[in-house]
Amino acid sequence: MVPTAEQLMQLCDVYAPDLPGYGKSYKPRRVLNLPELADALAEWMETIGIAKAHLVANSFGCQILVEFALRHPQRVDRLVLQGPTVDPEARSLGRQLLRLIINSRREQPALGRITRADYRAAGVRRAWATIKMALADPIEQKLPHVQARALVVRGEKDPIVPQSWAERAAQLLPHGELCVIPGAAHTLNYSAPRQLVTAIRPFLQLVEP
């Protein structure tokens, strides 16, 4: 998320937390489930004094944000769900692996190194548990209950989040919108941060300071 954060920090205060078990955060022995990860985000916001915020996530992070929006709606201003997983029409490990392979050929080469480092930081057990968690989460059943305004963002060449699923996700949200960024793949937050921020800026009502 760092490239996107660097673009956004010119427009607003930006925080990019690592949730427990991931990145540089502490590693609890037990892998936290989706509700626990959502609650951890709420506790972090409470600790540093953020009552309410715009929230932006990519891929599995969108599943955490949807859970967060249901459990802590008072803390959500607007949501940006960039490349939200998992497409209900491809909810299997095999289909997701195939789409990941296709997507890897459309992303910047450096992203593979960063992804491997992220997996190493989480550990094999946590990474595998996260994959299973993502596949088991019925996000399509949760979206209709999200009351915050939400923007679904998809890269035009994203095989993980096809146009059909992006459109359905936006339609399921009571206050959902869809934006498609031309020529981009799945990980817009890394590979196309300027285009992503340009796309979400009007929705988040961000202006130059």
Q: How many residues does the chain have?
A: 209
Is residue 75 within 8 Å of 102, Cβ to Cβ?
no
Burial 28-44 (b: 16+ CB within 10 A, else e): eeebbebebbbbbbeeb
Of the listed ranges 5-9, 108-112, 160-164, 199-203, the least confidently predicted one is 108-112
In this prediction, residue 31 carries a pLDDT of 93
Is residue 42 within 8 Å of 68, Cβ to Cβ?
yes
Asked if the model's pLDDT at residue 209 lies above 80, the reply is no
> pLDDT over 70 for what percent of the chain?
100
In this prediction, residue 114 carries a pLDDT of 85
Encode pLDDT of 33-82 as tens digits. 999 999 999 999 999 999 999 999 999 999 999 999 999 999 999 999 99
Residue in 80, 31, 77, 24 with CA at minimum distance from that of residue 57 = 80
pTM comes to 0.93
Angle 183-137-180 from CA coordinates, rounded to 5°: 20
Residue with the larger pLDDT of the pair 189 and 209 = 189
d(CA 137, CA 88): 10
Output the CATH code of domain 2-204. 3.40.50.1820
Residue in 84, 87, 206 with CA at minimum distance from that of residue 151 = 84
